[in-house]
Each structure stands twice: as structure tokens, then as C-alpha cells.
Amino acid sequence: PCAMCAGGLVLARVDALVYGAADPKAGFAGSLGDLTRDPRLNHRLEVVAGVRAEESSALLKEFFAARRRGAVT
């Protein structure tokens, strides 16, 4: 998730986050940064990363390719 979404997860005191595709450019749950485990914050959540990573990555690539073609609005 992005920084805003990761921050929302912490503030909402969500217990766990499960995701597939990492975002090395903007991810804030173990990629670019890690708000989910920041000791300065008053809540930390369990993060399970890489679940069906290849499939998740392929879905995102297909979606954004279609969006660039104008097929998705």
C-alpha cells in the first residue's frame, strides 16, 4: 500500500495486511518505507507480503496497460 493507505491501516488499528504485488517506488509496507512497523507509532500490524505475487503483478500490469490504451477509465 501507499504511505496514505499504510498510515490509515495503522490509525484504524487493523491487525493484519495481506498483499501480493510489492511497489518498490511508492510502497510503505516494506518497500520504500514501512509505516506498519514504525516504532514511533502506537500500533503495529502483521504484514504478509508476496501472496500470489506473480499473479498479482500480472494483473496490475494488465490493468495499467489497458488503461494506457484507453480501455479502462
Domain containing residue 24: 3-69
Task: Please tell me the pTM assigned to this model.
Answer: 0.80
* Residue 11 three-state SS: helix
Residue 72, pLDDT score = 77
Q: Which of 73, 14, 72 is nearest to 48 (CA)?
A: 14
Residue 67, pLDDT score = 93
Residue 68: strand pairing partners: none
43's enclosing H/E stretch is none
Say whether pLDDT at 73 is over 80: no
* Residue 18 three-state SS: strand
Say whether pLDDT at 4 is over 80: yes
Residue 14, pLDDT score = 98
pLDDT in tens, 15-61: 999 999 999 999 999 889 999 999 999 999 999 999 999 999 999 99
* Residue 48 three-state SS: strand
Q: Looking at the 3D structure of the chain, how many domains does it have?
A: 1
* Residue 8 three-state SS: helix
Query: Residue 31's domain is classified under what CATH number?
Result: 3.40.140.10
